[in-house]
Structure 1
Amino acid sequence: MSIDASVQQLAAGIAALLAGWLIFETVDGRLQHFDHIGWLVSIFMLISTVLMWYIHISIRQVASSAYSKFK
């Protein structure tokens, strides 16, 4: 459980670091490149969804093969 929390905290820290590098405030107070963060988040959400689908399929295959061994 603590490894899971550590990985989540590491990912949050890296995300904040990258966002801090990409976004900056101009002299007149406007934020620049804020739209890039939105695109990056959208892309990483799609990648995560695809990876979770592959993990789900592989777990289902392992579970069905394990179930068939004990039948």
Structure 2
Amino acid sequence: MFLTCNTLPRNNEIPLFEQFVREAVEAGVDALIAADLGIISLIKKYAPDMVIHRFHTDRYRKLCYSKRTL
């Protein structure tokens, strides 16, 4: 199971992120999907063995555009 955390957190939400990651690990999440490099850094800090998939919006847009033009 993959869980997205690809929003840009506000400063007051960052302290809550550690608990979010720990609960994801406890729930058996296989990988986290993230876009923000700061969030990716925190995932590595709080759950070093967690698989991280980096979501890149520009690549996604290009992929969607290329499929529509085929």
TM-score for both structures, normalised by structure 2: 0.27
Tell me which protein shows more strand as a share of its residues. Answer: 2
Q: Rg: which structure is higher?
A: 1
The structure whose RCO (Cα within 8 Å, separation 6+) is larger is 2
Using the size of structure 1 for normalisation, the TM-score is 0.27
Q: Higher helix fraction: Structure 1 or Structure 2?
A: 1
